[in-house]
Amino acid sequence: MSKPQFVYVSYIETTPEKLWEALTSSEFTRQYWFGAEIRSDWKIGSSFALTLDGEITDSGEILEADPPRRLSYSFKHQKYEELRGEPISRVVFTIEPFGSLVRLTVLHDGFVEGGKYLGAVSNGWPAILSGLKSLLERGKVLAIPRAALNKGFDAK
Amino acid sequence: MNIDRFKPLTVYTIYIVATPEKVWEALTSAEFSRKYFSGFAVEMEPKLGGTFIVRAPDGSEHIIGEVFEYDPPKKLTVTWNVNWPELVERLGTTLVTYEIEPAGEAVRLTMSERHDHPLSDDILSGGRTGWPAILSGLKSLLETGQAPQIKMAPPAQMLAALKAMGIKTP
């Protein structure tokens, strides 16, 4: 049995620099991350937060920042009561040139066995990262209602 | 074949700005698949029990299977057996299911690769490497009209694991 984690790979027609910017600037995240704004100075040890309508939904600390190759932060959910008790998890973004494309690998780990959070994260990331790819390739995101995320495969 | 014995060991979900019909067509027609699937042609007889072939650019049959669940444009399950000597005997049958659901102005496409044997991460690395490339290309093709060239090769750890099981790889 492998440890509980979520891994997602996407190939995007863009540059590593542009992808880095899209992951770290609230101008971009607000368009593809369901309206959430990301804020940090992206220095190792600094804090980071995702805010939606002025409310912090997730927060953490920058663990690695090597633009435009690798970014990781600890990730703690703040909004929903039932997820707040879960341990602090970790998100790692790896950006690699791949021919004329960029390969983005997102690893989210640090979950407990049998927790609810992995299922929520497994439903959320594909929608967020699909929107990111659309935004960078066609200049527009896709409008996915949040309600559409409440089902789907609970990757265990 | 009892479908309940098959467990999803690799799942990939992607949202695409397209209609369910268009996504279905892209998944099941050679004209589309050649563009986003490294030149491979999907040849499907569009009916339950129909043949399902993925033909390599050199004309050989890379995957031979049949249509196991057929509900256009919502759900398709095919047997996805790679045509390498001894592979099915050692690994068992592979099932691939595509589910297509409307989600706002997009559709959610979920690919599940299911197996009736427990398989190692090394064996599964083939699909886990391939599906993101194939489905990223499909999304780009449907959204921008152009599919990027994503050159994929079977992962070394998968080929080594198959060889160790006595499966002949090209």
Task: Tell me what ipTM this predicted complex has.
Answer: 0.94
Q: Do A98 and B150 touch (CB under 8 A)?
A: yes
* Cis preceding linkage at A68, omega within 30: yes
Cβ-Cβ pairs closer than 8 A, A with B, add up to: 82
- Any A CB within 8 A of B10 CB: no
- Which residues of chain B form beta strands (DSSP E)? 7-16, 41-44, 51-55, 61-71, 75-79, 81-82, 94-103, 106-115
> Which residues in chain B have their CB less than 8 angstroms from residue A153's CB?
8, 11, 13, 110, 112
Tens-place pLDDT, residues B55-114: 999 999 999 999 999 999 999 999 999 999 889 999 999 999 999 999 988 999 999 999
Binned at pLDDT 50, 70 and 90, residue A119 comes out as confident
Number of separate helices (H) and strands (E) present in chain B: 5, 8
Binned at pLDDT 50, 70 and 90, residue A65 comes out as very high
Tens-place pLDDT, residues B14-46: 999 999 999 999 999 999 999 999 999 999 999
Tokens encoding A138: 């066609």
Distance CA A35, CA A32 (A): 7
Give the closest residue to B152 by CA, choosing from B169, B124, B133, B125: B133
Which CA distances in Å does B63 have to A42, A70, B41, B78? 46, 36, 10, 11
Does pLDDT of A21 surpass 90?
Answer: yes
> Which residues in chain B have their CB less than 8 angstroms from residue A152's CB?
13, 108, 110
3-state secondary structure chain A: CCCCCEEEEEEECCCHHHHHHHHHCHHHHHHHCCCCEEECCCCCCCEEEEEECCEEEEEEEEEEEECCCEEEEEEEECCCHHHHCCCCEEEEEEEEEECCEEEEEEEEECCCCCCCHHHHHHHHHHHHHHHHHHHHHHCCCCCCCHHHHHCCCCCC
Q: Do A98 and B139 touch (CB under 8 A)?
A: no
Best residue in A129, A144, A156 for a mutation probing chain B (most B CBs within 10 Å): A144
Q: Which residues of A touch B (CB under 8 A)?
A: 2, 7-13, 98-101, 126-127, 130-131, 133-134, 137-138, 142-145, 148, 152-153, 155
- Any A CB within 8 A of B104 CB: yes
- Any A CB within 8 A of B151 CB: yes
Q: Which CATH architecture has domain B8-164?
A: 2-Layer Sandwich (3.30)
Q: Do A126 and B144 touch (CB under 8 A)?
A: no
pTM here is: 0.94
Distance CA A107, CA A105 (A): 6
